[in-house]
Amino acid sequence: MKSTIKHLSLLIALGAMSLSAQDSKEQPESISRIDFAQTITADDLSQLLYAFAADSMQGRMTATPGQKKAAEFLVDFYKNEKITGALPGGGYFQNIPKDYFKSKYVKTSSENVVAIIPGSVWPQEYIVLSAHYDHVGAKGDTIYNGADDDGSGTVALLEIAQAFKKAQDQGMGPKRSIVFLHVTGEEIGLYGSRYYTENPIYPLEQTVCNLNTDMIGRIDPNKAGNDNYIYLIGSDKLSQELHDLSENVNQEFSQLELDYTFNDENDPNRFYYRSDHYNFAKNNVPIIFYFNGVHEDYHQPTDTPDKIEYPLMSKRAQLIFHTAWEVANQEKRIVADKLNNSSTSQDSNKK
């Protein structure tokens, strides 16, 4: 009797193991960072950009009704995604007084829009992802939509934020905090990013790096026939660690050509000094500036959403997501290991 019972018990155990093995085979593979990156799609970017760079935004000139409407668009997106504002109490607007702007174009105050996904392990270390959401406005009835400059960077940030939130909802949120900084006043002198770095919501000494996205939706005419690229500027100016991490992430996940043409100290365009990352760099925060180069529609009313290369833009945005993911989750914090050799003291020469 005992032998029979033991035999039956063994059969039951083996049967349970067999069912368990069968069930495990039928279970989907565990979700990974690649799955989250792939939620950044050409279709979603297109839908967002057609809305954000619409005529109704009136070219988003700083401190105009169009810019403020664009700011509300960004806040509505973050609220819908349940991503909290970065200001005390969960607010999204970092208000900048009118008198801060030394520009004849500014007649009232303006605001940066800032959201955050807190880190799960090192919440007081911050990766700032930035893009300027202002543009040059309208002249009479002619609207300068600014689809590439910098509608492309703006909606890329929204999609990246959404991807990180999806990861957080699956229990895979970033270990360091991710700050989504949409700055105003870039086109008239990098005012929004300067105001943030002079009045940081989170301490600059706890800011690990700034990944700045300004124009990633088009193809430089000099790259015709070789469009699988992105220009990177500044990645090695302050931190070799950040530069190496960027290279490794691209090799593993994106396989874009990382073109450093405009990273040259002698570059006559001086792009390193002409976008919002520079205000972080001059405060010794390591940066990467992602850029597609200029084109015939730069600062023209013809910079419209229909001319954007959305599949390429999604690939570039996914690279930025993967880079931020790596910086946020690796054990060792990125540091400015080239600080003594850097040159960040020159004044910006705005476009």
**Burial group, residue 120, by CB count within 10 angstroms (0-12, 13-18, 19+):** middle
pTM of structure: 0.90
pLDDT value at position 327? 98
**CA-CA distances (angstroms) from residue 141 to 56, 136, 144, 212, 273?**
12, 14, 10, 32, 32
Cβ atoms of 198 and 132 closer than 8 Å = no
Q: 304, 307, 308: which is closest to 144 by C-alpha?
A: 304
CA distance 340 to 325: 27
Higher pLDDT, 98 or 5: 98
pLDDT value at position 281? 98
User: How confident is the model over 56-67, as a mean pLDDT?
Assistant: 98
CA angle 224, 225, 231 (to 5 degrees): 60
- What crossing angle do the helices spanning 310-329 and 240-249 adopt, rounded to 10°? 130
Residue 127 C-beta-side C-alpha neighbours within 13 Å: 31
Band of the pLDDT at 339, cuts 50, 70, 90?
confident
Cβ atoms of 286 and 257 closer than 8 Å = no
CA distance 146 to 148: 6
pLDDT (tens digit, 9 = 90+) per residue, 312-328? 999 999 999 999 999 99
Other C-beta atoms closer than 10 Å to the C-beta of 257 total 13
* CATH 3.30.1280.10 for the 31-341 domain, yes or no: no
CA distance 51 to 31: 31
DSSP codes joined into one string, 197-239: HHS-SS-GGGEEEEEEE---SS--GGGTT--SEEEEESTTTS-
Cβ atoms of 18 and 25 closer than 8 Å = no
pLDDT (tens digit, 9 = 90+) per residue, 86-133? 999 999 999 999 999 999 989 999 999 999 999 999 999 999 999 999
pLDDT (tens digit, 9 = 90+) per residue, 121-136? 999 999 999 999 999 9
Establish whether the linkage from the previous residue to 150 is cis, with ω within 30° of 0.
yes
pLDDT value at position 181? 99
Residue 102 C-beta-side C-alpha neighbours within 13 Å: 4
User: How confident is the model over 278-282, as a mean pLDDT?
Assistant: 98
Cβ atoms of 197 and 206 closer than 8 Å = no
Q: 146, 145, 161: which is closest to 74 by C-alpha?
A: 161
Please determine, for residue 164, whether its predicted confidence score (pLDDT) is greater than 80.
Answer: yes
pLDDT (tens digit, 9 = 90+) per residue, 285-315? 999 999 999 999 999 999 999 999 999 999 9
Cβ atoms of 280 and 210 closer than 8 Å = yes
Band of the pLDDT at 331, cuts 50, 70, 90?
very high
Mean pLDDT across the chain:
91
